[in-house]
A and B are shown apart, each in its own frame.
Chain A
């Protein structure tokens, strides 16, 4: 019974949890609900992944209405992996959230905060699991509206502006998305993704379908912060409450990347995307612009959260680069980086969130010498930073290996050099933080700092350990990413 309904539970539980949180009104109770729900998520996701690996794609008819009329939840090896990622991140940050939220959110709003967080989680998981184009839009709006609110709850007044900026950009993105879906519906008469895919055969080159593709691509690219559609991201990440930054940075953009791959490979088909249209070239150029442009901007930031946010834009460039390389190795690299980047960026934002918890600032100057006061937190930061740089033995290296190898296989040796050259920029911005944190005299702000409470430290260390563990034993990450890439590339010559 439960096993058969796992796909529904994955989405319904957070939704119910959100309602419950809204009723509870006391921050700590709401946290308890959110914790239980978040801890249940990975269990469900693991259950789904095992089912998929054992017996192939799961199709679940929501409410018993058979697809294509009813809404279909469709779990395959690719989105099962994504569900697991989002769930695990959610589970890891909830113990962390308690102290951080107590510090950063006024006590009368904490229950709302958790309610909204669960809605956001519900939306992200929903987008990942559903097989229905319009249902994706609904969940996209659920998660986006929740995300705007989460960001707006930040202490800094600039958080409001950041949330508003994201609201405008995000709404444009969602509108573009729904226009694309509308065009597809007008051409195929269905909203079920698998159904659309089969009915598109023969009419892929019609103007309406191409227009749909364009709208979908731009809309989703806004959500995933593809350069130059990333302008909402740095402010949103910089001014959101620490816990929201960790969660959004690790999950929101990743789900958007998933949607893009889903439409490219399983709906429109790789042949039209990569052979008939110059999508590969466009993504190649934009990815490179992100890898270099955003990373260079990151070097000059004095606010560490903003620096990491720009770094995220750059790192998303690696993921989309994997899409642009468009061979099996490159795509594996892109997908594995989706997971790897979630791990390392969550760890980095958590470490910085712990610093904010102690000293109430993330300005680089205030962080001077804090390594002497918070050695464990900062050591964790450095190791996660190594992963951003791509030091062997960390997950970042695994991604880079696949991407460079993919570039070589494609015969694009120049791209291989650009990939490694761009990671040199991350040496500069991570190195800048390391130098300030460890080798400067202790600043006035950092003087009284000490290690954060264990509830914040342990989840951070857990993620850092994961960045090293999965950098050495890649059978789970790269293995499944490889299977997902193979599954997506089926039928691509």
Chain B
């Protein structure tokens, strides 16, 4: 198969899947089979593309001109490849989990749920494989719009309010800040193609670069750089599988992925480093990183705590990009994958706890570990990976970001990274510890069993993934090593 066919297949499979899900809505087992088969097929195609990329092949499609200067085109490069692998791989696991969760909680409107999910995955792959900023922007907006119904899924006042915040902040930042930045870039550079070394070098002055960088970084609302992070906690009203795959993996990672792409292929790290335009971003990211962790410590609601933890962890990726060094880029990119696996495990556990015990607050979990040992062991593994302790994959992202900070000569940033890891320990580890060793207050947690089997399978898979990624980060490193920075 030609590269073009493969890319188009990867985009079409989830879209067609969405259609088939609608057609099979009358038979829930068949519908869930469609979801699983679609996810598996998609992952297969992405793996074939991965194999081709590792063989050094350039995969791209022809381009279709919308208006002069605006093209719809796709091209696979290492960073997008990694993102596509993460999103499509975790979609399978998440689909297994969804089946257990949605049925266990007897959620209404499951057909639109699975449909929107498939559309969201299609747009995620569109983002991953975009060859230019416009194509990326198109799918970026489709991703926002297709996930909005998932956020408001419950349909009560709370969900509608959350959905409103979600839509207004994400659409607002992308339209008011990101779109002008894209148009200005198109005017200055005459192109929007992602090009190694960037397209702005030598075409504009330092002030413009700094302004554009600010527009991009705050305009990419999905990266949740403070103060544009409010939508993420608001999105937690969604059912847990949505929070798990979309608001720990696809949507937020689409944000930091876009930020990474812009830094590498639009500005070029050399331009940023030589003009010093990235200097302020390092500190904004560092502040967001610490503040996210601090807020997370104050949250008693488990999903809210995880959401703020995500805000903080996303800032790591932005920080990696803003360092404008080779290691920084690799560390940030690596963290996209590592955090994804860790955080999805934590959300899966949160959902399993909700399904089995209907508990949402951290303070209610004391002593629950004895009733749900499997879930809480998995939670512990996910937490350790997020914190960045061996033998779990989360270590590698933080490791290389720290290397990048050293490379950039930012010693203070290295210190901040250390402090942040301590904060992660402070807000994550007490949860499993209290669950196992704390005395359960009030009523006995009798009769509480582990969540339905599909949920447990999913949790097992991702927590095992955290472990595997520690021992075998090789392929990812090799892939990221192919990123052409210049």
For the complex, what is the distance from the CA of A416 to the CA of B180, rounded to whole Å?
A: 7
Beta-carbon contacts of A395-408 to B below 8 Å, as 1s and 0s? 00010111011001
Interface locus among B88-96, B167-175, B330-338: B167-175
Other-chain residue from A417, A431, A472 in contact with B180 (beta carbon distance below 8 A) = A417
A229 at the interface (CB under 8 A from B): no
Q: Which listed residue, B138, B142, B164, B187, touches A431 by the CB 8 Å rule?
A: B164
Interface residues of A in 468-492 (CB under 8 A from B): 471-474, 478
Residue among A386, A401, A478 with max Cβ neighbours from chain B (10 Å): A401
Cβ of A390: which chain B residues have Cβ within 8 Å of it?
175
Q: Decide: A404 and B137 in contact? CB cutoff 8 A.
A: no
Binding stretch for chain A, among B64-72, B307-315, B363-371 = B64-72
**B160 touching A420, Cβ below 8 Å:** no
Stretch from A7-15, A198-206, A422-430, A450-458 at the B interface? A422-430
Specify the chain B residue showing the minimal Cβ separation from A432: B164
- B138, A439: Cβ atoms under 8 Å? no
Whether B175 lies near A420 (C-beta < 8 A) is yes
Contact between B183 and A424, CB atoms less than 8 A apart = no
Is B186 interfacial (CB 8 A cutoff)?
yes
Once bound together, how far apart are the Cα atoms of A165 and B425, in whole Å?
69
Q: Is B179 an interface residue (CB 8 A)?
A: yes
How long is the Cα–Cα vector from A472 to B142 in the complex, in angstroms? 14
User: In the complex, what distance in Å separates the CA atom of A423 from the CA atom of B172?
Assistant: 9
Q: A405, B187: Cβ atoms under 8 Å?
A: yes
Please measure, in the bound complex, the distance between the C-alpha atom of A439 and the C-alpha atom of B161, giving whole angstroms.
Answer: 11
Cβ 8 A contact of B163, one of A393, A413, A435: A435
Interfacial chain A residues near B160, Cβ < 8 Å: 435, 439
Fill in one digit per residue for A242-270: 1 if any B CB lies within 8 Å of its CB, else 0. Answer: 00000000000000000000000000000
Q: Which residue of A lies closest to B154 (CB)?
A: A439
* Residue A185, interface by CB 8 Å: no
Q: Shortest beta-carbon distance, A372 to chain B, in Å?
A: 9
Note all chain A residues with C-beta closer than 8 A to B164. 431, 435
Is there a chain B Cβ closer than 8 Å to A421's Cβ? Answer: yes
Q: A427-B175, A435-B163 are in contact. List 8 more A-B contacts (CB 8 A).
A: A401-B183, A405-B183, A408-B184, A420-B179, A424-B175, A471-B66, A472-B66, A472-B72
Name the residue of chain B whose CB is nearest to the CB of A417. Answer: B180
Pick the contact of A427: B72, B142, B168, B180 (CB < 8 A).
B168
Can you name 17 A-B pairs with beta carbons within 8 Å?
A389-B171, A392-B134, A393-B138, A398-B67, A401-B183, A402-B67, A413-B180, A417-B176, A417-B180, A420-B176, A420-B180, A427-B171, A427-B175, A435-B163, A441-B155, A472-B64, A478-B67
Q: In the complex, what residues of B have CB within 8 A of residue A413's CB?
A: 180, 184
Given the complex of chains A and B, what is the CA–CA distance between A423 and B70 in angstroms? Answer: 20
A58 at the interface (CB under 8 A from B): no
Is residue B141 contacting chain A, with contact meaning CB distance below 8 A? yes
For A420, what are the chain B residues with a Cβ–Cβ distance below 8 Å? 175-176, 179-180
Counting CB contacts under 8 A, is A303 at the interface?
A: no
Pairwise interchain contact A391-B172, C-beta atoms closer than 8 A: no
Contacts of A427 in B (CB 8 A): 167-168, 171-172, 175
Asked if A409 CB lies within 8 Å of chain B CBs, one says: yes
A274 at the interface (CB under 8 A from B): no
Within 8 A of A (CB), among B223-281: none
A438 close to chain B: CB less than 8 A: yes
Q: B125 to nearest A CB, angstroms?
A: 16
What bracket does the count of chain B residues touching chain A fall in? 20 to 34
Q: What B residues does A478 contact at CB under 8 A?
A: 67
Decide: B183 and A408 in contact? CB cutoff 8 A.
Answer: yes
Decide yes or no whether B16 CB sits under 8 A from chain A: no
On chain B, the residues within 8 Å of A393 by CB distance are: 138, 141-142
Q: Is the CB of B167 within 8 A of A404?
A: no
Complex Cα gap A424–B138 (Å) = 17
B167 with A392: CB separation less than 8 A: no
Nearest CB of chain A from residue B268's CB, rounded to whole Å: 22
Name the residue of chain B whose CB is nearest to the CB of A477: B67
A398 to B172, CA, bound (A): 18
Overall SS of chain A's interface: helix
CA distance A424 to B142 in the complex (A): 16
Q: Is the CB of B175 within 8 A of A392?
A: no
A401 x B70 contact (CB < 8 A) = yes
Cβ of B186: which chain A residues have Cβ within 8 Å of it? 405
B171 touches A424 (CB 8 A): yes
Identity of the chain B residue whose Cβ is nearest the Cβ of A431 in the assembled complex: B167
Bound-state CA distance A150–B384 (Å) is 71
CA distance A33 to B158 in the complex (A): 53
The distance in angstroms between the C-alpha atoms of A234 and B375, with both chains bound, is: 58
Residue contact B176 to A404, C-beta cutoff 8 Å? no
B159 within 8 A of A: yes
Instruction: Assess whether B438 is interfacial by the CB under 8 Å rule.
Output: no
The CA of A408 and the CA of B208, in the complex, are separated in Å by 13
Give, as a whole number of angstroms, the nearest-CB distance from B207 to chain A.
13
What is the bound-complex CA distance between A408 and B180, given in angstroms? Answer: 9
A391 lies within 8 A of B141 (CB): yes
Q: Which residue of B lies closest to A478 (CB)?
A: B67
CB distance from A414 to the nearest CB of B (A): 10
- Bound-state CA distance A52–B349 (Å) is 67
A301 to B2, CA, bound (A): 53
B145 adjacent to chain A (CB < 8 Å): yes
- Of B67, B163, B172, B176, which is in contact with the most chain A CB atoms at under 10 Å from its CB? B67
Nearest CB in chain B: distance from A292 CB, A: 13
B134–chain A nearest beta-carbon distance, Å: 7
Residues B66 and A474 in contact, CB atoms below 8 Å apart? yes
Task: Across the A-B interface, give the 4 residue pairs with the lowest CB-CB distance, nearest first.
Answer: A392-B138, A404-B183, A439-B152, A420-B176
Contacts of B454 in A (CB 8 A): none
Q: Is A438 a contact partner of B149 (Cβ separation < 8 A)?
A: yes
A474 to B69 Cα, complex, angstroms: 12
Question: Given known contacts A390-B175, A439-B160, is B67 in contact with A401 (CB within 8 Å)?
Answer: yes
Verify B145–A408 contact, CB threshold 8 A. Answer: no
Complexed CA–CA distance, A404 and B145 (Å):
23
Closest-by-CB residue of B relative to A440 is B155
Bound state CA distance, A398 and B179, in angstroms? Answer: 12
When distances are taken between beta carbons in the complex, the residues of chain A under 8 Å from B67 are 398, 401-402, 474, 478
Q: A391-B145, A392-B141 are in contact. Are A439 and B183 (CB under 8 A)?
A: no
Q: Which residues of A contact B149 (CB under 8 A)?
A: 438
| Bound-complex Cα distance A404 to B186 (A) | 11
In the complex, which residue of chain A has the Cβ closest to the Cβ of B136? A392
Chain B minimum-CB-distance residue to A434 = B148
Per the bound structure, the CA–CA distance linking A386 and B167 in Å amounts to 13
In the complex, the answer to whether B171 meets A439 with C-beta atoms within 8 Å is no
Given A409-B187, A472-B72, are A386 and B145 also a contact pair (CB < 8 Å)?
yes
Are A398 and B66 in contact, CB atoms less than 8 angstroms apart?
yes
CA distance A421 to B175 in the complex (A): 7
Are A424 and B180 within 8 A (Cβ)?
no
Of B66, B138, B186, most buried by chain A (CB within 10 Å of CB) is B66
Residues of A contacting B152 in the complex (Cβ-Cβ under 8 angstroms): 435, 438-439
In the complex, what residues of B have CB within 8 A of residue A409's CB? Answer: 187
B187 contact set on A, CB distance < 8 A: 405, 408-409
Chain B 125-165 per-residue mask, 1 if CB under 8 angstroms from chain A, else 0: 00000000010011001100100010010010001100110
Is the Cβ of A428 less than 8 Å from the Cβ of B134? Answer: no
- Please determine whether B180 and A404 come into contact, CB atoms closer than 8 angstroms: yes
Option from B66, B134, B171, B176 in Cβ contact (under 8 Å) with A421: B176
Q: Give every chain A residue within 8 A of B66 (Cβ-Cβ).
A: 398, 471-474
B167 nearest in chain A by CB position? A431
- Residues of A near B134 (CB, < 8 A) are 392
Nearest neighbor of A375 in chain B, beta-carbon distance = B112
